[in-house]
Amino acid sequence: MAALLAAGDVLADKTISAFVRRTVARAFAVVVTLFARFVTAVRGTWVGNEPSRKRRIYFANHTSHGDFILIWIVLPPRLRRKTRPVAASDYWLKSKLRSFIGRDVFHAVLIDRNKETRTEDPIALMQDAVDRGASLILFPEGRRNDTDAPLLPLKAGIYNLAVSRPHIELVPVWIENLNRVMPRGEFIPVPLMCTVTFGPTMQVAEGEAVDAFIARARDALLALKPARNGSAAS
């Protein structure tokens, strides 16, 4: 662990050549990917949709820090490179190692969730990334869901982004089981099978109000949640 942190310090040093940084980041991505596959055997399924090179906004339920990694893994490798997760800078800039993982390994678009102190508008940052040709992975719940409810209320940011960039397709994504792999506050993952389900593309309709769209997005997400019986409680 100490070695990792030290490595993080070295890599965060701006004087290290960009080439070394990029190489280490690539290697790191491979290791993270292999580890995630080992633990979750994750499989992606596309329901009424296909992988596409078009710019897209994948919006998903959020239960774990590993969520975007799973989505990233199940995307075809060609699409991976131009797909950037949108993540909270208050988490990902906390240490040099995290910042290396967030920025260099996964090219995250880092946004500040704190309205009082932030200097840059999150929507503007996302618009900028999209305008440069990236697809985004977005978690519209705004924070990790560790309640028993399947989904927290969605924030309006995704609506504002979609309205300002109307040609971009929105793809609902449901991540199943990752919250059981690594519940909040635990640090050793339990290997369990995870699935990532991509649903049909959607867009904001002409003149659609924010509440109506958010309700539709929520339904689109919940529709992808696998039904499974066998719960002892039911």
Q: Which of 24/192 has CB closer to another protein?
A: 192
SS3 assignment, position 104 = helix
- The answer to whether the beta carbons of residues 30 and 113 sit under 8 Å apart is no
Interface with another protein includes 15 (CB under 8 A)? no
**Tokens, residue 219:** 């339904």
Interface with another protein includes 17 (CB under 8 A)? no
The CA–CA distances, whole Å, from 36 to 92, 121, 123, 134, 178 equal 19, 32, 30, 24, 10
Among 15-23, 131-139, 161-169, 191-199, which window interacts with another protein (CB under 8 A)?
A: 191-199
**Tokens, residue 162:** 């979609």
Interface with another protein includes 77 (CB under 8 A)? no
Question: Residue 230 burial (CB < 10 Å; 0-12/13-18/19+)?
Answer: exposed
Per-residue x/- marks for another protein, 145-184, CB under 8 A? Answer: --------------------------------x--x--x-
Interface with another protein includes 3 (CB under 8 A)? no
- What residues line the site for another protein (CB under 8 A)? 41, 43, 177, 180, 183, 186, 188, 190-193, 195, 227-233
